[in-house]
Amino acid sequence: MSNEQLNPFAIAQSQLDTAADILGLDDSTRQLLREPMREFVVTIPVKMDDGSTKVFKGYRVQYNNSRGPTKGGLRWHPDENIDTVRALAAWMTWKTAIVDIPLGGGKGGVTCNPKELSETEKERLARGYIRAVGKILGVTQDVPAPDVYTTPQIMAWMMDEYETLRGEAHPGVITGKPIGIGGSQGRGDATARGGVYTVREAFKALNIDASKATCAIQGFGNAGQHAAKISKELLGMKTVAASDSKGGVYNKNGLDVDALVEHKLKTGSVVGFSGADSISNEDLLELDTTVIFPAALENVITGSNAKNIKANIVCELANGPSTPDADDILYDNGVFVIPDFLANAGGVTVSYFEQVQNTYNYYWTLEQIHEQLDRKMTHAFKGTYEVSKSKSINMRKAAYVISVDRVAKACKLRGWV
């Protein structure tokens, strides 16, 4: 694939086109759903600790709000750009639709390298971002959440800045907050937990014995670490490999996940973990495991390496890890892909529960969160699997068909198309 074809937004549009073809969508609806409804690009000056001022670019894209206020994470990454944000905002639109929560899709970010920022610089950047885009945020407009390299602490600073500007309490303006200032039980591991629920359902559908299953995790961050822990806790699965931006580790007999999390916390990477061999990010994806969890960034399974994937199931916790070329190869080779906006919808689902609790000012127990999340994820998986079987299409196309149909119907009911 050329670089142009690997542009995540071009990929998101081509995936939409495929679903529109299957659904026989009219041209005006297709045109509307191919583009974000609103985009904001802002410039954020930040005072650095040494007294200098650094200028950052920030983004917020509100892709489609036909089903409710837009919702989606904030990514702080050196490669962040408007096309990535557009793609992620589109995927959020399909994600809120597949789990059938009354929200639209949005996304935001800042081009920066958080590893080079001190805590006080991060706080000033977080507050600066809200001063720049705060006017277009709110529970009835658009609600951000954490994503790559943003944390509950960053959400807390952002909520505080928003409430300071408004002079009133608005805990629901942002989700993924720490517990104690409006965060929800179960938000921290919700993305991974939701993904593991879908793997459990896939095991049932494909007759795979969970107790003998193994997995490899690319991207040992928030989603990846929790996937390792929860797949063991709920399904008895063994994690044999894990990686991050610095490299990976592998032990065919299984890694001690808690010790690996500890090691990553201490050293900043999984690299150098004792009792394991090193493995590259590329080789990790090609391991003969039952499940692979891509949990880092986009375009890691492409037309060039898809034929080497040996896992039975790819559970896409990351957004956009597989290209359309890869999808076709994986499907032909019988690799069962649980597509990103279904597999990682647990995060936004519990974010939605967080918003509901903030609005009611009444908080649920962890058990209630897990039960409601399981219900939503299981229902979404089963619906997608049924469409995939009945139309003989892969799970991504099936999920698109369901979500695009829901969003298109909402646009029609509003009289937009």
The residue ranges that bind ligand NAD (CB under 6 A) are: 146-149, 191, 218-224, 243-245, 281, 295-297, 317-319, 344, 347
- Whole-number minimum distance, CB 28 to ligand NAD, in Å? 31
Provide the angle, in degrees to the nearest 10, between the axes of the packed helices 366-391 and 190-206: 40
- What is the per-residue DSSP string for 277-318? EEE-HHHHHTS--SEEEE-S-S--B-TTTGGG---SEEE--S
Classify strands 105-111 and 70-77 as parallel, antiparallel or unpaired.
Answer: parallel
Which of the residues are catalytic? 107
Minimum Å distance from CB 340 to ligand NAD?
7
DSSP H helix total and E strand total for the chain: 14, 12
As measured in angstroms, the least distance from the Cβ of 115 to ligand NAD is 10
Closest CB to ligand NAD among residues 147, 161 = 147
CB 331, CB 351: distance < 8 Å: no
Q: Which is nearer to ligand NAD, 164 or 304 (CB)?
A: 304
Nearest-approach distance from CB 122 to ligand NAD, in angstroms: 13
Nearer to ligand NAD by C-beta: 185 or 243?
A: 243
The residues facing 76 across adjacent strands are 110
- Of 45 and 268, the one with the shorter C-beta distance to ligand NAD is 268
Taking the CB of residue 119, how many other CB atoms lie within 10 A of it? 8
State the minimum distance, in angstroms, from the CB of residue 318 to ligand NAD: 3
Residue among 287, 264, 312 at smallest CA distance from 217:
287
> Is the CB of 15 or the CB of 344 nearer to ligand NAD?
344
Question: Which of 173, 53, 50 lies closest to 108, judged by CA?
Answer: 173
Residue nearest to ligand NAD (CB): 221
